Amino acid sequence: MQATRIIAIRHGETPWNASARLQGHQDIPLNELGLWQAEQAGRALVDEPVAQIYSSDLQRAYQTAEAVARATGAPLAADPGLRERSFGIYEGRTFAELEAELPEVAQRWRQRDPEFTPPGGESLRMLRERVRATVERLAARHAGELIVLTAHGGVLDTLYRLATGQELQAPRTFALGNAAINRLLWSPQGLGLVGWADTSHLENTARDEIC
């Protein structure tokens, strides 16, 4: 079976990115900078032979995907399996607020405890299994082709770790910038890393993920 080439893109900036708020499943749109970043990502891929674009159904990712679809002419479909990790009752809060009000929660978060599950949300382990299953399902449809996935910081973090074998609790040493272009290969044996965090199209405007 031929490998599937994947370009994975984190959505453009939102007002909550700019204020360092946990978005999770909250449906926050792109801000003006985020819309520009999405357009730039689309232009950077205009000559790529994209067979299909799959996006999280949350509008910040879908708006980003729409810009890529306009540039490439590729069909676009939403898939909730590409959603950000659910942060449950902590969505809308900042880390500064959590550290001040719930220091034990903030510590488990900072330590990347794989089993820590925000009330009403998902653990890192739950997120990994959701992302793994979603990518396998989507990539298996496109052997020998190139697909684009537009998603979120937590999803991109998971993809990098799956591709490199890094443990969930390992400190993050790689960037997750808004609208950065990241390249992977998928085969039935799993994911492999090709290139990561290309922001050359963004003029240094890509804000890194906070968690």
- Annotated binding-site residue? 16: yes
Burial 79-109 (b: 16+ CB within 10 A, else e): bebbbbbbbeebbebebeebeeeeeebbeeb
196 is in an annotated binding site: no
14 is in an annotated binding site: yes
* 10 known member of a binding site: yes
The answer to whether 11 is annotated as binding is yes
110 has binding-site annotation: no
Choosing from 11, 25, 142, 201, the catalytic residue is 11
Q: Which is the catalytic residue, given 39, 66, 84, 91?
A: 84
Q: What is the CA radius of gyration of the chain?
A: 16
Is 25 a known active-site residue? no
- Residue 188, C-beta contacts closer than 8 angstroms, at least 6 positions apart: 1, 140
Please check if 158 is assigned to a binding site.
no
Cα 101 to Cα 56: distance, rounded to the nearest angstrom: 31
DSSP 136-180: HHHHGGGTTSEEEEEE-HHHHHHHHHHHHT--TTSPP-S---TT-
| Catalytic residue check, 11 | yes
> Is 122 known as a binding-site position?
no
Q: Phi first, then psi: give them for residue 101, nearest 5 degrees.
A: -100, -30
Q: How many CB atoms lie within 10 A of CB 168?
A: 16
Q: Cα(184)–Cα(19) distance, rounded to whole angstroms?
A: 30
190 is an annotated ligand-binding site residue: no
Binding residue ranges? 10-17, 60
What are the residue numbers of the active site? 11, 84
Binding residue ranges for substrate? 10-17, 60
